[in-house]
Amino acid sequence: MSFANPLFLLIFFPAVLLLYWALGPRTSWQNMVLVVSGYLYFASWGPKALPVFVAAAFVNYAIMVGLRKRDDDGLPVRAVVLLPLGVIYNLGQLLLLKYLGFFEDTFSGLAHLMGVQADLPVVRLILPIGISFWTLQIVGILIDVAYGRREAPKSLLDFAAFVAFFPQILSGPIARADLLEQMQVPRRFSAHAFARGGFLFLLGYSMKFLVSATLGDWTQGVFSTPSQFDSSSHWLALFAYTMQIFCDFAGYSLIAQGLACFFGLSLVDNFRFPFLARNISDFWKRWHISLTNFLFDYVYTPLVTGSGLLRGRLAAGLFVVLLTSGLWHGATWMFVLWGALHGAVLAIAHRWDEFYRGLCRKDKIWVKRRKSVVYAFGAWFITQFWFMLSLVPFRMPSLDGVAQFASGLFGGGGVQHLVLGDSVSSKANMLLCLAFVGIYHLSATDRGGRVVAWFMRWPAPLRGFVYGLAIIYLFIFKPLSEGAFIYAQF
C-alpha cells in the first residue's frame, strides 16, 4: 500500500492516527497501535511474508533479553554466544531471502565458464518488503546492546513498535537507538509537530509522486531502447534519472519523516541536499545518510580500527564499505559494480585529499587555491558528474546494457530525440519537474532559506491558498498509475 494509495491516505493513516491520539499519552497503548498498524501495513504488501517480519521482532527481543545480564565491566555476559547467533539469524535470513537467487546464478555462471553444466534447482522464496532496511535496523540495535553501548529494550512491545513503525518499513530511514528511546516514553500531542508533518509530507509527496514519477515515465524509453535514441537524449535521460532517483528516495524519506511527526516521533535525516556536495566524501555524507552512517559505524570502523582486518588502511576500508553498499542495494552484479566504482573513487578521493594536504603543508598557495571559486566549481562539477555517470550501471540491467547506453552517450545510438512533451502544459510540467530539484537545493542556501522563511511569515490564508494550489497541481498532473518506486526493490 503505497503512501499515495487512496486507501492509505483516506482510511488507513487517518484511522491509525486517530486511534493513536485518542488512547492518550500512554506508551503501551501508543506502541500497541504502532505494532498493529505496522503489521497491517506490512501485510498490505503481501501477507505471506508477515510471519518472517513478526518473528524478527520476537527472536531478536529474546536474544536481547539474554544479553541483559552484565559482568563487572558492564558488558553482557552472553554476548560471545548471542551476538553471533543474532547476526547469523538476521543476516542469514537476509542472504537466504534476498540473495539466494544471486548466488545460484553466480555459481551456475561460473560452472558454465568452466565447462560444467550446473543447473541448480530454482528456489523461489518470499521476499519480505523492506527486508534490507529493517534487518540493518535490528542488527544495529543488537550490536549496540551486545557491546554494552545501549540497554536492551525494556519491553517486547517497545521493540516491536520500533521494528514495525510503518512509515519506515518499506525504505527507512534506517533508524537507530534514538527511535527506540522515543518509543519507550509517552508521546504528547503537538500542533507544531503536525504542522511540520504536513509540510514534510506535502514536500515529499510532490517529490516522489509528481517529480520522480513524471521523470521516470519520460526517460523510460531511452533506458529500455537506448539504441534508438541520439546522444543528447542519452545525456538528458541520465540527468533526469539522477533527479528522478533523488526525488524518489528523498521524497519517500521526507514522507516517512512527515508521518513520524504526526505520531510525535522523529526520524533521522536521510538526505541533506546532496547536489551541493563538492567532493564524493561529502556527497556520501548527504546521500542515504542513514545507510552510510550504519555502514561506517558497523563495517568501516570495526574494519580499520583496533584489531580490525584492515587496521589503518582507510582507503581499503572505504572501498569495502561502498562495495557492501552496492551489494546491499541489489542482488545483481550491476549493483556490485556500482558499489565497487564508488568505493574506488572514494579511495582515490581519500588519497587525493592526503596528497593535497601535503601540498598545503608545503606551500600556503595551495590552501588559497582550494578556496577559490574555480576549485570549488570544478570540484562540485566533477563530483556531481561522476555521480550521474555512475548511475548508468545502477539503472541498466546488464553489462551489455551499460555498454550500449555508454555508447549512446557518445553518439553510438540512434536518431530518435527525447522531446519534453507534446503540448505546452506537458512541456511546462516537465520543465518544472526538472527544475524542482534545483529549487529545492537552493532553499538550503542562505538566500534561499530566507525566501522560504519569508514565505512562512505570510498570513495563514495566503499560505493556505498556496498549499491549495499545490494540491490542485498534484491532482491534475500526478499520473494515476503510481510511479515505480526504485528504492522499494531494495
Catalytic site residue from 234, 288, 329, 350: 329
Q: What is the DSSP letter of 151?
A: P
Q: Per CB under 8 A, does 261 bind another protein?
A: yes
* Residue burial 92-101, b: 16+ Cβ < 10 Å; e: rest: ebbeebbebb
Least distance CB 38 / another protein (angstroms): 14
Which residue lies nearer to another protein by CB, 192 or 362?
Answer: 192
Helix (H) or strand (E) holding 298: none
Binding pattern to another protein, positions 418-457, x when CB under 8 A? -----xxx-----------------xxxx-xx--xx--xx
Q: Per CB under 8 A, does 45 bind another protein?
A: yes
Cβ-contact 395, 210 below 8 angstroms: no
Residues 301-320 contacting another protein, CB under 8 A = none
Least distance CB 28 / another protein (angstroms): 21
* Residue burial 406-443, b: 16+ Cβ < 10 Å; e: rest: bebbeebbeeeebeeeeeeeeeebbeebbebbeebebe
In order of 195, 236, 331, 372, 442, the CA distances from 451 in angstroms are 19, 30, 43, 27, 10
| Sole window of 228-236, 356-364, 375-383, 472-480 interacting with another protein (rule: CB under 8 A) | 472-480
Which residue lies nearer to another protein by CB, 414 or 421?
Answer: 421
Which SS3 state, helix, strand or coil, does residue 485 take?
coil
192 catalytic, yes or no? no
Cβ-contact 288, 241 below 8 angstroms: no
Beta strand segments in 135-209, E: none
Q: Per CB under 8 A, does 376 bind another protein?
A: no
Residues 318-347 contacting another protein, CB under 8 A = none
In order of 155, 184, 454, the CA distances from 180 in angstroms are 11, 6, 36
Which residue lies nearer to another protein by CB, 54 or 396?
Answer: 54
Cβ-contact 267, 176 below 8 angstroms: no
Dihedral, 52, 58, 63, 64 alpha carbons, nearest 10: 130
Q: Per CB under 8 A, does 22 bind another protein?
A: no
Least distance CB 365 / another protein (angstroms): 30
Which residue lies nearer to another protein by CB, 148 or 448?
Answer: 448
Residue 430, CB-side half-sphere exposure with 13 Å CA sphere:
20
The reply to whether omega before 173 is within 30° of 0 (cis) is: yes
Beta strand segments in 392-473, E: none
- Identify the residue among 367, 385, 469, 489 touching another protein (CB under 8 A): 469
The identity of residue 206, as a single letter, is S
Helix (H) or strand (E) holding 279: none
Q: Per CB under 8 A, does 21 bind another protein?
A: no
Which residue lies nearer to another protein by CB, 412 or 421?
Answer: 421
Binding pattern to another protein, positions 197-216, x when CB under 8 A? xxxx----------------
| Sole window of 137-145, 191-199, 290-298, 331-339 interacting with another protein (rule: CB under 8 A) | 191-199
Which residue lies nearer to another protein by CB, 24 or 46?
Answer: 46
Q: Per CB under 8 A, does 251 bind another protein?
A: no
Q: Per CB under 8 A, does 195 bind another protein?
A: yes
- Identify the residue among 79, 193, 240, 247 touching another protein (CB under 8 A): 193
Binding pattern to another protein, positions 47-66, x when CB under 8 A? x-------------------
Q: Per CB under 8 A, does 266 bind another protein?
A: yes
Which SS3 state, helix, strand or coil, does residue 451 take?
helix
- Rounded to an integer, what distance in angstroms lies between the CA atom of residue 489 and that of residue 484? 10
Residues with active-site annotation:
329
Residues binding another protein (CB under 8 A): 1-2, 5-7, 43-47, 190-200, 257, 260-261, 264-267, 269, 272-273, 423-425, 443-446, 448-449, 452-453, 456-457, 460-465, 467-469, 471-472, 475-476, 478-481
